[in-house]
Amino acid sequence: MVNTENNTQAGVALPSAESVLELLKLDPDGLMSIKPLSKRLQYQAVVMWLTDYKCPQEVSNNLEMVKGYLESFYHLGEVEDWERASQILFIQVPPIRESLHTQLSRWGYSQESIQLHSTLLGKLDRRWDSLCLNCLAKVYYSLEKYDKAIDYHQQDLHIAQDIKDRSGECIALESLGNVYEALGEYDKAIDYYQQSWQIAKDIGNCDREGGALRNLGSVYEALGE
């Protein structure tokens, strides 16, 4: 259980600075050994933002509440410490204890979400690329920029197929179906939903199988069938 003591921002209890530093395996007492100086200063900035930043009490802006995390991500990026930067995205943020990158999208901070995931794209392994592509596609879908959503979902699908991630392939196909359904291109939507359903059935994922069937039902209802 992540400790949330002594880190209340705008009336909301965030994970403590100590627990986040532990997650990042970053010891403030060991920073002086980091060389060169320019690199050490970036890590010191990370610690400062995690330990010293306090959201003004009169501010109820969610982005200000998590500013310390976003600035820490930036400074970790400056030293290309992508592993630690990626962990920032999975810090559990109240009120519903979802990961930071999920909450940013839920709160409607599309540009911030795009910047974070675009920055990490191509910096870690292919599974991370898949996650970033999926998140980028969802953001562009929410912005009704469907061409970009399709492009990112297609890239995600290709990675899932290359690394033989059947579950990821199922999700990417379903997501493509969602986009084409939103565009009113029902034949394509049906094709993607059927492919997603077949994979879900093959791997025994009942939730995804049910979701694909519901999506198919939605399309056929729109077609009056």
> Does any domain span residue 216?
no
> Does any domain span residue 84?
yes
Percent above pLDDT 70 for the chain: 94
Give the global pTM: 0.89
> Does any domain span residue 153?
no
> Does any domain span residue 29?
yes
Give the number of domains in the chain. 1
Q: Encode pLDDT of 35-87 as tens digits.
A: 999 999 999 999 999 999 988 776 678 899 999 999 999 999 999 999 999 99
What's the rounded Cα separation, in Å, for the pair 168 and 157?
7
What's the rounded Cα separation, in Å, for the pair 200 and 13?
38
Region 171-187: mean pLDDT is 98
Show contacts of 129-134: CB within 8 Å, 24+ apart.
129/159, 130/156, 130/159, 130/160, 130/163, 130/165, 130/168, 133/159, 134/171, 134/172, 134/175
| Cβ contacts of 127 within 8 Å, gap of 6 or more | 163, 165
Dump strand ranges (E) for the chain.
8-9, 12-13, 92-93, 98-99
> Does any domain span residue 8?
yes
> Does any domain span residue 89?
yes
Nearest alpha-carbon partner for 74 in 87, 64, 66, 85: 85
**Which pLDDT band holds residue 5 (cuts at 50, 70, 90)?**
very low
> Does any domain span residue 105?
yes
> Does any domain span residue 215?
no
What pLDDT, on the 0 to 100 scale, is given for residue 8? Answer: 55
Q: Which helix (H) or strand (E) holds 70?
A: helix 67-78
What's the rounded Cα separation, in Å, for the pair 158 and 160?
5
Nearest alpha-carbon partner for 89 in 75, 79, 104: 104
Which residue range is the domain that position 90 belongs to? Answer: 1-124
